[in-house]
Structure 1
Amino acid sequence: MELYLDTANVAEVERLARIYPLAGVTTNPSIIAAGKVPVWDVLPRLQKAVGPEGTLFAQTMSRDAQGMVEEAKRLSNAVPGIVVKNPGHRRRARRYQTAEERRHPDPWHRCLQRFARPAGRAGRRKVRRALR
């Protein structure tokens, strides 16, 4: 089992990383806004707190597919190794297609690769429908 924190509090991540074997941190715009620290300051500090073995997930704030792609590029350049999440709505599908073409890591595809595809090959009909 992997342990992820859902926070933007760097001090909390650093403290808990000393106690638990954290796999990483996930955060979103509302969590970052609550901390009242700019996203471009918080994310590099969170990446450093989880260390080279940890994974940092951060969500885009844009509402349109093109904005999501541009923001994902900026986040990837600013914070190496970050995995960019996208809000769950219909425009997400277009963003995923674009990300797939650009080979940008995406948590949805990671999930499908790790769990759904092997299950689909094993004959699980519901999973096959979900992959369509």
Structure 2
Amino acid sequence: MKFFLDTAKIEEIRRAKELGVLDGVTTNPSHVAATGKTFRQVVDEILTELQEEPVSLEVVATDKEGIVKEARELARLAPNVVVKVPTIVEGVKAMKVLSQEGVKINATLCFSSLQALLVAKAGATYVSPFVGRLDAIGHEGMGIVEEIRQIYDNYDFSTEILVAAVRHPQHVLEAALIGADVITLRLETLEQLFQHPLTDVGLERFLKDWQKVPQ
């Protein structure tokens, strides 16, 4: 399973790269706004730092023509750009056009397995089910991921399942067990995956014992 970082902050991307497990980055308008920088400043920083790994940049238009226009402009920025398009009627229409042109698409704001089926048929490169937001309204977010995995396997769709809105390490574990292709998560959640109290206790014990070894 690939690990993407969900952020627009360059310092977080660099920290994640140092961990040795970063496969890509996803951004959204909220993340960009949190940086206090212009969109182009943010994009230039990220694409300079990541020149091969997929970087998802989101359109803000909500009509087919506007989405297609924005997506083409974003795709021209670098060959590793993936364009995030909302899973709405106009978005799916645009996905079909863009996928036929070779533009890589991340179908974002997906909340049902039927939506995931539609974007796969439209040629999306990734589908992003937002599991944390589903959990927050009383639905089982990972249940949607299981359904999508089954549907995609049934029909051999090439669209990759990119689990989004991850809230904690358990989401990461469940996504991996289901067989999701990608998970995108905040830096703090990624760092939590490395932690276990028994690892800390074991290391402390080994180091204490090492002090007893004649040097």
Please give the TM-score of this superposition, normalised by the length of structure 2: 0.50
Displacement of 1:9 in angstroms is 0.2
Matches within 5 A, 1:1-132: 1-52=1-52, 54-108=53-107, 109-111=124-126, 116-120=151-155
Number of residue equivalences: 118
Matched residue SS, 1:3: strand
* Residue ranges of structure 1 left out of the alignment (5+ in a row): 122-132
Once the two structures are aligned, what percentage of the paired residues are identical? 25
Cross-structure match for 1:129: none
One-letter code of the match for 1:34? Answer: A
Classify 1:21/1:50 alpha carbon distance in 2 versus 1 (closer, same or farther; 3 Å): farther
CA contact (8 A) 2:51 2:80 kept: no
Distance in 2 (CA, whole Å) between partners of 1:97 and 1:77 is 18
Question: 2:19 and 2:126 mapped to 1: Cα distance?
Answer: 27
**Greater mean deviation of Cα atoms: 42-51 or 20-29:** 42-51
Cα distance in structure 2, aligned partners of 1:62 and 1:111: 19
Q: Structure 2 vs 1, CA of residues 70 and 79 (structure 1 numbering), >3 Å: closer, same or farther? A: same
**What's the RMSD between the two structures over aligned residues?**
1.9
The question of whether the paired residues in 2 share the 8 Å contact of 1:32 and 1:39 is answered with yes
- The offset of 1:76, in angstroms, is 1.4
Q: Which residue of 2 aligns with 1:130?
A: none
- Bigger Rg over Cα: 2
Change (3 A) 1:101 1:16: closer
Aligned with 2:33: secondary structure?
helix
Contact 2:29 2:58 in 1 (8 A): yes
Structure 2 regions of 5+ residues with no counterpart? 108-123, 128-148, 157-215
